Chains A and B, each alone.
Chain A
Amino acid sequence: MKGGLLSAMAAVFTRELLVFWRRSTEVMTALVFFVIVTTLFPLAVGPERHELMLMAPGVLWVAALLATTLSLNHLFASDYQDGSLEQLLVSPYPLSALVFAKIAAHWVLTGLPLALLSPLLAVQMALPTKAIGTLVGSLLLGTPILSLIGAVPAALTLGVRGGGVLVSLLVLPLYTPVLIFGAEAVAASAGQGFASVAHLSLLGAFLAVVVSFAPWASSAALRVSLD
């Protein structure tokens, strides 16, 4: 039975990856958004390297946060439209596990590429080289939280008028701890270079809380939306 559950989760996970790959423009949209937003900042505030460096952790993290928010609408919406979401609901496996697999796939397609792309943009924002490792690390720890928390409003607003804007309204206040811990970690290692461990462990602790909680909440949300 346990093996059955794991293989069901794996099936959901791979299916998500395949489907997303076919609609790769949606994956690319988030990444391109991330790149463009970070490029606009130097144009707006001027190319002075020291100023850019001071702003870099915040700008990179806010851009990553907004890019993830933008991608949340695709998490359940197309499965909702073609009816495959209802099949998840009637499957014999616990819905929260399958939803977890879906969220994991979403992270692999949005959060992970964002984290891998970030060093390039960090150079653009004049972030010191010693802080780049922390930036990637904080994004690797933080973006799963964004996908996990974001799944709840994404599920709640299925089929609701004005869903897209509503998701960002609902999700951004919940993202504040991630933004604070993530950006502070990068800022700390750009400055003194030792305090970042504390911020990263707080991010890790928050991730642990969210992993145990968000799949359950988003599967409950899906049940409400598809009732």
Chain B
Amino acid sequence: MGEFGGFAGVSRLIKFIHKYGAPKRFYRLAGRLVPWFAGVTALLFVVGLYLGLYWAPPDYQQGDAYRIMFVHVPNAWMSMMAYVIMASFAATGYIWNVRLADMLAKATAPLGASFTLTALVTGSLWGKPMWGTWWVWDARLTSELILFFLYVGYMALQASIDDPRRAAHASAILAIVGVVNIPIIHYSVYWWHTLHQPASLTLTSQPKIYITMLIPLIVMSFAFMFFYFTMLLVRVRSEILVREQRTDWVRKLVGSKQ
């Protein structure tokens, strides 16, 4: 009975994915959602910037330089989360042949790469006043750099294959291999770092996190997360139009907006 229930659950899930994973349906849904997500993103950014730059008091050790944390840490979090999301979409698209999941994975990659790049640059700008140099082989920065290379590789593979189906499936396998490897890479880099600089300071462990820092940090994290969702929907809408351009519904849609 339990097994049967589980099987029915899985097949219901697959049915659900196929129903809402129909590009036509999702195109309309995404179109309706984008303004709301954009509004929430803008609101969160305004509140988060106010709290982070003005409301939160300066840190007693780092002064105002610690405010870089409110852009650095959310971007670092989002860069990792986006990779996991991208790999999950890619795996869904590869295993169950859901085209929408392929497109969502493809649309996630550039966003994830830019979160990684922002985390790297802001980390460097934070490191300069704290460590005295632009770049330190800090564990977090090093694994962000490797994550950036993983994103670049994913996008390069995606771009070098013309057939969209093959491109999606090939990059899906790469993303799955990457996501299995990331914990090992992460762990090895942290381990390497402790071997060489046992007493060094990491960026975020240095200031004790007070509630006045935590609130802006959380708001800014949600701001970047909603930004990701908004732009994911915008990107995936164009991707749907391109891939479905031969279908009737896209032709009708284009014809009706003439």
The 0/1 profile, CB within 8 Å of A marked 1, for residues 173-192 of chain B is 11011101100110111011
Q: Is the interface of A mostly helix, strand, loop or mixed?
A: helix
**Docked pose: A209 CA to B180 CA in angstroms:** 10
Given A156-B174, A172-B149, A224-B169; A166-B188 close (CB under 8 Å)? no
**Docked pose: A2 CA to B176 CA in angstroms:** 30
CB interface residues, A 160-185, toward B, < 8 Å = 160-162, 166, 169-170, 172-174, 176-177, 180-181, 184
**A225 at the binding interface (Cβ < 8 Å):** yes
Q: Are A157 and B192 in contact (CB under 8 A)?
A: no
Given A156-B157, A162-B160, A225-B166; A173-B174 close (CB under 8 Å)? no
Q: Which of the 9-residue segments A18-26, A100-108, A120-128, A213-221 touches chain B? A: A213-221
Quote the shortest CB–CB distance from A168 to chain B (angstroms): 10
**B153 at the binding interface (Cβ < 8 Å):** yes
Interface size class of B (residues with CB under 8 A): 20 to 34
Q: Are A221 and B173 in contact (CB under 8 A)?
A: yes
Given A177-B184, A184-B195, A224-B166; A217-B176 close (CB under 8 Å)? yes
Q: Are A160 and B173 in contact (CB under 8 A)?
A: no
Q: List 7 A-B contacts (CB under 8 A).
A: A157-B157, A170-B157, A177-B181, A180-B192, A209-B180, A209-B184, A224-B169
- Which residues of B come within 8 Å of A, CB atoms? 146, 149-150, 152-153, 156-157, 160-161, 165-166, 169-170, 173-174, 176-178, 180-181, 184-185, 187-189, 191-192, 195
Smallest CB-CB A-B distances: 10 pairs: A177-B188, A173-B149, A170-B153, A224-B169, A180-B188, A180-B192, A156-B170, A177-B184, A173-B146, A160-B160
